[in-house]
Structure 1
Amino acid sequence: MDLLRIIDDAIYSTPVMNFYGSSLGGHLRHCIDHYDGFVRGVKEGTIDYDSRSRDRVIETSVNQAMQRLESLAKELEREISSIDAGREIRVKMDCGGETGMHWQVSSVGRELQFLTSHTIHHFAMMKGMCCTLGVALPMDFGVAPSTLRYLRNA
């Protein structure tokens, strides 16, 4: 949310050529879509990460992205507070190739780990994009917790 407070819609939606023409908004919307998929499916025990809304408004409007993040945080808190992290679930994600490796068995906790790692990965790309766009971010933005811990102890 801190990033969204320091940029406007123009910066948020600007394609950055050395990042394949993607925008900050595109990366954030992609992450939001994954969390939406988790929230939609976790109660039923099936999460389909391929079924994403790809909402262009979230991708181009800082205000809409902030509103969605706020509501998503509340939804996540409500959903995961009552679910056992070890509970088995089925997850769908097309990983390419001929078979795509569609439905796989996982757990709620493992999917939360995936979402964290996936988000950090996109935040790292967003940090590089921000450098290109002249937006300063904290040094730890987009850095994995294990890396931060390693760097503190090195």
Structure 2
Amino acid sequence: MSLNSVIHANCQTLTALADQLTHLPPGIYDKATPLTDSGIGGHVRHIVEHYQELASGLEEQHICYDKRVRNQLLEHSLKDAIETLRNLSAWLLTLAGQENISLKLTAATSGSRQDASTTTESSLIRELLFLQSHTVHHEAIIAMLMKAQSIDVPGEFGVAPATLQYREEIAITS
């Protein structure tokens, strides 16, 4: 596995999300549904902020997704969200060739207000793998929210790459 392949996979995932969002009817993006407390916009904001935390954490070589900045504009402005997703894809491409970046990751290990957290070693590739998985997970929720509102969603949207590979293997052997 190379950094470039992981970057490319993240770009594809973010582009698929941006493309899917362009098909939303007006008024749907930030509309809360009975299924969740937030709408599609809340999940997109959450995804974007994780990538932004990686970007800011790279400078110090220390990431803490738990302390990311919550930007409500991304939750309510479809236009800004799509633009930000496309900008993140372009930024990811600038990371090519930076395989040797060592990172520290701090994560909360408890829901209490006490500083219950752990810091561990990580790498750029590992964090990008996490972000892709995290994004696909939220895309699956977004897909359910869209389907609940009778919006067409491609069958591969929000499906993990390993699941898509498995489905392909099964189709070949059937």
Instruction: Give TM-score scaled by structure 1 length.
Output: 0.90
**Residue pair 1:8, 1:62 contacting (<8 A) in 2 also:** no
In the TM superposition, 1:65-104 aligns within 5 A as 65-78=81-94, 80-84=95-99, 87-97=101-111, 100-104=116-120
Which amino acid in structure 2 is aligned with residue 12 of structure 1?
Y
Q: Which has the higher contact order (CA 8 A, sep 6+)?
A: 2
Which amino acid in structure 2 is aligned with residue 83 of structure 1?
Q
Q: 1:38 aligns with which of 33, 47, 54?
A: 54
Corresponding residue for residue 108 of structure 1: 124
| Residue 147 (str. 1) matches residue 163 (str. 2) | yes
**Residue pair 1:9, 1:62 contacting (<8 A) in 2 also:** no
Residue 96 of structure 1 and its aligned partner are, at CA, apart by 2.5
Q: Aligned in 2, Cα 1:100/1:117: closer, same or farther, shift over 3 Å?
A: farther
CA distance in 2 between counterparts of 1:9 and 1:122 reads: 21
CA distance in 2 between counterparts of 1:95 and 1:34 reads: 18
Instruction: Give TM-score scaled by structure 2 length.
Output: 0.80
Secondary structure class of the residue paired with 2:84: helix
Residue correspondences, number:
151
Secondary structure class of the residue paired with 1:89: strand
In the TM superposition, 1:107-126 aligns within 5 A as 107-126=123-142
Q: Aligned in 2, Cα 1:152/1:22: closer, same or farther, shift over 3 Å?
A: same
- What is the aligned-residue RMSD (CA, Å)? 1.6
The list of structure 1 runs, each at least 4 consecutive aligned residues, that deviate by more than 6 angstroms after superposition, is: none
Identity of aligned residues (%): 32
Corresponding residue for residue 16 of structure 1: 33
CA distance in 2 between counterparts of 1:51 and 1:122 reads: 19
Which amino acid in structure 2 is aligned with residue 14 of structure 1?
K
What stretches of structure 1 of length at least 5 have no aligned partner? none
What stretches of structure 2 of length at least 5 have no aligned partner? 1-17
Secondary structure class of the residue paired with 1:74: helix
Which amino acid in structure 1 is aligned with residue 64 of structure 2?
D
Which amino acid in structure 2 is aligned with residue 81 of structure 1?
A
CA distance in 2 between counterparts of 1:30 and 1:92 reads: 18
Q: Aligned in 2, Cα 1:14/1:105: closer, same or farther, shift over 3 Å?
A: same
Residue 69 of structure 1 and its aligned partner are, at CA, apart by 1.3
